[in-house]
A and B are shown apart, each in its own frame.
Chain A
Amino acid sequence: MTGAAASVARFAAMGTRVELHVFGCDDPAALAAARAAILSVEDALTIHRPSPTTALNDALSSGGNAVVEDRLLFGALVQVDALWRGTGGLFDPSLGHWSALTIDRASRRVSSTRPLTFDFGGFGKGYALDRAVTALRAMGVPSALLSAGESSIAVLGQHPLGGDWPLAVPHPANDGAWLVELELQDAALSISSTIGPGAAKPGRAAMIRPTDGAIVTTAATAIAAAATGAEAEALSTALLVSDPVARDRLCAAAPEQRFLFPHAAPVGAERALEPTA
């Protein structure tokens, strides 16, 4: 394949900038389908305007139950449920209350024994990229790189010049240094960091440890590669909030794909940078 035919879409979605780089396919409908897939995930999962998620939050915020009609939201809940189990409860977009939740797949009824609400945050970005990848694949796109806020990345197929996509995660403090270099194909990458450009911007949601509700303030970067964006997001979040025992267990399961880098506080800083303003 030559690198000639490439097209790109750039737009704001899910509170950040999204870029879709498609190679080897000239059909503008492919990019349009991927973009629509991302925006429909935003519509389903957003908590910044009325959405299926805010409707469900309204119902569960008093500990009730509701039938989830929205296909994308229900799909997200089912995936999160599996990832919550897979990470031993460390990935929990309900701020540590997922155990109170029952999801009945047949009736699509979600009920909770205690008041809770969902904020899908980073997971939403990974989940949206997964839908976009599916859409591009259905349109016959052989190769693509998708980025949501540069912290959620998905690659479809091979690099346009063949072989894996070489990606590197830069050190957040030391210019020119890399934390890790990865070679990926048909995979997703998620980076969660409490420092670096953007980490201290107003409006950033804090990283919360579900086990005790504390805000994670230690300077660290967690990196996870996985088959899907949803998994990668769940794992990078879990790594960032994990204690050393849990971290070792998570990393040992896929040492080439999961990393946690603690950073010393930058010179001159009196305390570790906080993730939110």
Chain B
Amino acid sequence: MTDDDFALSRRTFLDRVLLASAGVGMSAAAPWAARAAEDIAKGPRVRIGVIGTGDRGRTLIQNLNKTRNCTVAALCDNFEPHMAKARAYVPANTPIFTDHRKMLEAKGIDAVVIATPLDLHARHTIDALEAGYPVFCEKAMARTIADCSAMVTRARARGKILQIGHQRLFNPTYLNALKRAQAGEIGNITQIRASWHRNRSWRRQIPPGGTEREINWRLYRDRSAGLMTELATHQLQVANWFMGGLPTRVMGSGSICFWKDGRDVYDQVALIYDYSDGRKVIYTSMLNNARYGCEEQIQGSKGTIEPELGRIYQEVQPGAVPALARMRADVQAGRKNTVPIGGATWFPELPVTTPGDSLGWGEYDETMLQFEGFGEAVRSGKEVPGLLAQAYYASVASLLGEQAIDQGQALAWPADLVTF
């Protein structure tokens, strides 16, 4: 893609975000979207120090490079092979560090982006905030609910921006889906069935010099809540967003069912999140069957939205009653025939394979857009509205789900959370 192509695609992308976010109720449901699509201020680029240059860290670096207001000004990772790969995306003279505290002390940056394993998010975030830097940290927020709350509290106490990466919040298909849901097209949303099903072990090859716990941190409880924090967080964010509220309680069950390879996180989970008025989110995730993939089936009384597929479906309308069609034809032809009608009440068939309509748009740069929003927030000192609450509650929901599974009992939504 040439630079001109990219400029064009950025413009169409922004237009789509803007179009999707301009609807009744959208400024309340997605206050960040309209602002993110605004033009950015002139001025020097925000210099970013990236902590964690693994898979995600390198994707983030490439997205930072696409923004108009950020630049990668320092890299930090304590695993050399990852650092070596990351350096390919930044100028050769970019300072590199193995200890994040050294990077924070070295100055030369305006803000910090964190893409380290989950258990380190809180420490890295809080160290950066304490050093006076705004922070963008990848989802999930932290390994415990207490740490998630501490990150928010500390950012507030220090008066610094804290933004958590949740790219669906900037995805035009999701924004469009939300707009159509808000307009009542699928009626009252009463159930969301979400799943993330994969058919692979999730285990990474250990490169020379790497250790199992460092490379496969996702598979160990002390570092990650596995499926709940790494995958479910995304979809629980979507669920809260479309439900327009928070769960009241959660119950769940989990097991190490298929990949009995020494991991101690679940490779299969099933949970029910209750919302007000009896509404529910039903969540499943597993690692040995990919048939149903990653999807949120957002179901209302009038229709269904499947945003990953980008489709909206109306409930199937009943077909004509044959006997009455015949009656009409008879009357038309001047014939008066007996109308055979009546039996057990006709009941709608279960709709199964209706094609639905497209929600539009397939390719996105939503991660880039998150960073442009972050860059503007750093420059203005004003956070992008609404994002942190979405991320915080999504992380709480995923961690509470883990606790409900571990304890084998339904857990009420915590009463002692940070408020927004």
Tell me the minimal C-beta distance from B243 to chain A in angstroms: 16
Partner of B348 from A3, A17, A150, A160 at Cβ < 8 Å: A17
Which residues does chain B contribute within 8 Å of A160, judged by CB atoms? 331
Partner of A6 from B323, B331, B346, B348 at Cβ < 8 Å: B331
Question: Is B157 engaged at the interface, CB distance under 8 Å to the other chain?
Answer: no
Which residues does chain A contribute within 8 Å of B347, judged by CB atoms? 15-16, 149, 198, 201, 203-204
Which residues does chain B contribute within 8 Å of A169, judged by CB atoms? 340-343
In Å, the complex CA distance between A221 and B341 comes to 13
Partner of A167 from B335, B338, B343, B344 at Cβ < 8 Å: B338
A145-173 vs B, Cβ < 8 Å mask (1 yes, 0 no):
10101111100000111110111111010
Which residues does chain B contribute within 8 Å of A145, judged by CB atoms? 324, 327, 339
Question: Is A195 engaged at the interface, CB distance under 8 Å to the other chain?
Answer: yes
Q: Which of A81-89, A103-111, A186-194 binds B?
A: A186-194
Partner of A168 from B315, B340, B344 at Cβ < 8 Å: B340
Known interface pairs A12-B348, A145-B327, A161-B331. Does A150 touch B343 (Cβ–Cβ under 8 Å)?
Answer: yes
Beta-carbon contact of B345 and A147 below 8 Å? no
Which residues does chain B contribute within 8 Å of A8, judged by CB atoms? 328
Beta-carbon contact of B332 and A189 below 8 Å? no
In Å, the complex CA distance between A194 and B343 comes to 9
In Å, the complex CA distance between A4 and B333 comes to 9
- CB-contacts of B304-351 with A (<8 A): 315, 317-321, 323-324, 327-328, 331-332, 334-348, 350
Partner of A189 from B188, B342, B346, B348 at Cβ < 8 Å: B342
In Å, the complex CA distance between A125 and B342 comes to 14
Beta-carbon contact of B301 and A12 below 8 Å? no
Known interface pairs A17-B346, A195-B344, A201-B347. Does A159 touch B336 (Cβ–Cβ under 8 Å)?
Answer: yes
Q: A163 — nearest CB in chain B belongs to which residue?
A: B336
Beta-carbon contact of B340 and A196 below 8 Å? no
In Å, the complex CA distance between A91 and B381 comes to 68
Tell me the minimal C-beta distance from A206 to chain B in angstroms: 12
Question: Is A223 engaged at the interface, CB distance under 8 Å to the other chain?
Answer: yes
Q: A155 — nearest CB in chain B belongs to which residue?
A: B339
- CB-contacts of B3-21 with A (<8 A): none
Beta-carbon contact of A19 and B321 below 8 Å? yes
Beta-carbon contact of A17 and B321 below 8 Å? yes
Beta-carbon contact of A147 and B188 below 8 Å? no
Known interface pairs A4-B332, A160-B331, A161-B331. Does A150 touch B338 (Cβ–Cβ under 8 Å)?
Answer: no
Beta-carbon contact of A16 and B346 below 8 Å? yes
Beta-carbon contact of A16 and B318 below 8 Å? yes
Beta-carbon contact of B341 and A202 below 8 Å? no
Tell me the minimal C-beta distance from A21 to chain B in angstroms: 6
In Å, the complex CA distance between A189 and B342 comes to 9
In Å, the complex CA distance between A196 and B348 comes to 14
Beta-carbon contact of A168 and B343 below 8 Å? no
- CB-contacts of A18-64 with B (<8 A): 19, 21, 23, 48-49
In Å, the complex CA distance between A147 and B327 comes to 13
In Å, the complex CA distance between A88 and B331 comes to 41
Beta-carbon contact of B342 and A151 below 8 Å? yes
Which residues does chain A contribute within 8 Å of B334, judged by CB atoms? 3, 161
In Å, the complex CA distance between A11 and B340 comes to 21
B153-173 vs A, Cβ < 8 Å mask (1 yes, 0 no):
000000000000000000000
Known interface pairs A6-B328, A149-B345. Does A49 touch B301 (Cβ–Cβ under 8 Å)?
Answer: yes
Beta-carbon contact of B317 and A12 below 8 Å? yes
Q: A160 — nearest CB in chain B belongs to which residue?
A: B331
Beta-carbon contact of A196 and B338 below 8 Å? no
Which residues does chain A contribute within 8 Å of B327, judged by CB atoms? 21, 145
Partner of B339 from A11, A149, A165, A194 at Cβ < 8 Å: A165
In Å, the complex CA distance between A203 and B301 comes to 15
Q: B316 — nearest CB in chain A belongs to which residue?
A: A12
Beta-carbon contact of A16 and B348 below 8 Å? yes
Tell me the minimal C-beta distance from B323 to chain A in angstroms: 8
In Å, the complex CA distance between A49 and B188 comes to 9
Beta-carbon contact of A167 and B339 below 8 Å? yes
Which residues does chain B contribute within 8 Å of A125, judged by CB atoms? 345
Beta-carbon contact of A147 and B331 below 8 Å? no
In Å, the complex CA distance between A47 and B378 comes to 51
Beta-carbon contact of A17 and B318 below 8 Å? yes
Q: A195 — nearest CB in chain B belongs to which residue?
A: B344
Question: Is A199 engaged at the interface, CB distance under 8 Å to the other chain?
Answer: yes
Beta-carbon contact of A150 and B346 below 8 Å? yes
In Å, the complex CA distance between A181 and B188 comes to 42
Known interface pairs A159-B336, A166-B336, A202-B350. Does A151 touch B344 (Cβ–Cβ under 8 Å)?
Answer: yes
Question: Is A244 engaged at the interface, CB distance under 8 Å to the other chain?
Answer: no
Interface centre among B318, B334, B347 (most CB of A within 10 A): B347
Report 16 cross-chain contacts, Cβ distance below 8 Å, ordered by A residue.
A6-B331, A12-B315, A17-B321, A19-B321, A21-B327, A21-B328, A125-B345, A150-B323, A150-B343, A161-B334, A167-B341, A168-B340, A194-B344, A201-B347, A203-B347, A204-B345
Inter-chain pairs besides A6-B332, A16-B348, 4 sampled, C-beta below 8 Å = A3-B334, A166-B336, A167-B340, A170-B340
Query: Which A residues form the contact surface with B (CB < 8 A)?
Result: 3-4, 6, 8, 10-12, 15-17, 19, 21, 23, 48-49, 122, 125, 145, 147, 149-153, 159-163, 165-170, 172, 178, 181, 189, 191, 193-199, 201-204, 221, 223, 275
Shortest 8 CB-CB contacts between residues of A and residues of B:
A17-B318, A3-B331, A199-B344, A191-B342, A149-B345, A196-B343, A151-B345, A201-B347
